[in-house]
Amino acid sequence: MPTEGTRHTVYEYGFSKGQILMPNIGYGSNKKTKHMLPSGFRKFLVHNVKELEVLLMCNKSYCAEIAHNVSSKNQKAIVERAAQLAIRITNPNARLCSKENE
């Protein structure tokens, strides 16, 4: 039998103290802004230059994100092609280190 204090929280709030909240339908986000970045774009994961062509018609609402396993050579090619197609990239200089001339 729960004590007086715990019964109070169950009756008033519908849950007991220390109970973990379960995922319910009410915690969902708005469908119009779901998966949207603060800049207003949605992300599209890109692995090669050919996949940028998909974003050609949707470059106002989608931006490209270069996958983590893309080589630096292909990454440079993706960034150059995205600049030509006016596609925004969320991580254009990820893992690209500039070597200083000694």
pLDDT in tens, 38-60: 999 999 999 999 999 999 999 99
Token pair, residue 93, equals 């200089």
User: Bigger pLDDT: 30 or 16?
Assistant: 30
Domain boundaries of the chain, sorted by first residue: 32-92
pTM above 0.75, yes or no: no
List b or e across 14-36, with b for residues whose CB sees 16 or more CB atoms inside 10 angstroms: eeeeeeeeeeeeeeeeeeeeeee
Distance CA 89, CA 64 (A): 5
On the CB side of 26, CA atoms within 13 Å amount to 2
User: Bigger pLDDT: 75 or 5?
Assistant: 75
At 99, the pLDDT band (50, 70, 90 cuts) reads low
